[in-house]
Amino acid sequence: METKRDILLYNIPQFANEIPVEVIRRLAADCPRIIGTKDSSRDMPRFLHTINVLRKTRPDFSLLIGCEEILYPSLMMGGDGGTIASSGVVPEPIVKIYNDFLAGRHDDCRRVQFKLLELIEVMLKAGNFPEGFRAGAALRGFEPGPSRQPISEKEKGFLAEMQERMACLLKECGFPEAARECSVSRTDVASMLARINRRIP
């Protein structure tokens, strides 16, 4: 089958069968229209193996990460960037990590990467993916509309609580438009995160 469109392979084993690195290599060798891959496996060793294999056979192949938590480490090891859910909520610090990396400002990259970890954790655990990210986008002034996923009243209550915590974290990250939704202390946020981690493996 031929196509005139460029194709990006998407490895996300949480929701679909994993694409083995060898399969990516063969597809990249046989199909010039396959121009890259996005890896959301959260598996840094696998991503490094993908980089090592593909750079030898397709130096032009685009290697993107899908996990915010390892954006900067993936850039350090030769990745090309990322297409990540939090870009719809906090694009500014995501772009800052990328630009600071290109400029060699590694201390700034590390600082922003660590600053984002707590916010990302809350968005991931606020409900069935991507509900936490939709709630975060709403705090930034977007109107994502109602979810297509069925949500119980208990889940709605938990999501509302998490959205308030998200607002406080966004405020700390320098986004004042979220401050109006924040009415809890920093200690409450830390306590909430500990509670989430006990509830969700």
pLDDT tops 70 at residue 26: yes
Strands 34-39 and 7-11: parallel
Distance CA 200, CA 148 (A): 23
pTM over the 0.75 mark: yes
DSSP string, 132-198: HHHHHHHHTT----S-SS---HHHHHHHHHHHHHHHHHHHHTT-GGGGGG--S-HHHHHHHHHHHHH
Q: Residue 183 to residues 77, 106, 132, 167, 198: CA-CA distances in angstroms?
A: 40, 34, 18, 9, 23
b vs e for 78-113, b when ≥16 Cβ sit within 10 Å of the residue's Cβ? Answer: ebebbebbbbbbbeebbebbbebbeeeeeebbeebb
pLDDT digits (tens, 9 = 90+) for 50-63: 999 999 999 999 99
Residues in the chain, total: 201
Q: At residue 189, does pLDDT exceed 60?
A: no
pLDDT tens, residue by residue, 144-178 = 887 787 878 888 788 888 888 888 888 877 777 77
